[in-house]
Amino acid sequence: MQAVESNVSRRRLLGSALTLGAGAAIGSTMSFPSAGVALAAAGRQDLVHEELIRQMKDGVRALRGGTPGAAARSLAATLRVLAAHYQSADVDAQVKNGLRTAIARDGRDAVLRSEADAAMRAAEAREFGVADLVLPREPFNLAERERALEALLAHGATPALLAAAAELMRLAPQLDRVGVTPITRRQCSGTTGMAYSLEFIALASCLVNPILCAGFGGAYYGLKLSLWYFGC
């Protein structure tokens, strides 16, 4: 989808992908078609989105390089542009409407307890260059998921991208010291709470529209990898 397309065209593309994301596996584990499959089904490509996802993948991988602080700032900038791109395509309304449909069809509890399957997780980890790291999964936390779902239904998903970008910017000065001075383990409760929410928001966004998987998955892996440096 070119930047000059109308919002009607953008909504048509997102609506076409919506039918691919809502599967019968809700409430257990889910496997989604790749974003490429969804875009092909919609009949057009979103070249801006593809470029932003490429930059995001590079940014997450760069967090493991010699200048993780600079990588965190770069990734934060990409997340902010991606959020603006999603807002221009009315993604927040798509997410809210898609989740309401899923809740009406399958029940709120089923949506809250949805999980991605192991193959999907492994593929995402490879895409973002973290498959060889032991990044602990977030423990299931129903209360955190409830809060995240309420936020999604009220505001959509793009605020989560902006919150992740702000957190990466906050962590960047500390990441600048990696390789220069050891970073002592710190209290991580506030930021890990964001990780809980962001993991569920990524999962819910995939459920609504598989095109969104890489964007929100990249935000999650970027935050998770940054926390890994601090032992969180």
Name the residue ranges covered by the structural domains of the chain.
Answer: 7-228
Q: Residue 33's closest CA among 55, 45, 18?
A: 18
Name the 3-class secondary structure at 85. helix
- How far is CA 88 from each of CA 10, 18, 91, 164, 189, rounded to the nearest angstrom? 9, 17, 8, 19, 33
Residue 117 has pLDDT above 90, yes or no: no
pTM, two decimals, is 0.78
Which of 13-17, 70-74, 120-124, 196-200 shows the highest mean pLDDT? 70-74
Whole-number pLDDT of residue 216: 94
Residue 163 has pLDDT above 60, yes or no: yes
Helix axis angle, 35-42 relative to 7-21, nearest 10°? 120
The identity of residue 117, as a single letter, is D
Residue 1 has pLDDT above 80, yes or no: no
- What phi, psi does 30 have (nearest 5°)? -130, 145
- What phi, psi does 202 have (nearest 5°)? -60, -45
pLDDT per residue as tens digits for the range 186-227: 556 566 678 888 999 999 998 888 889 889 999 999 999 888
Instruction: Say if residues 61 and 145 touch (Cβ distance below 8 Å).
Output: no
Which of 156-160, 170-174, 184-188, 211-215 shows the highest mean pLDDT? 156-160
Whole-number pLDDT of residue 155: 96
Phi-psi region for residue 220, left (φ > 0), alpha (ψ -120 to 50) or beta?
Answer: alpha
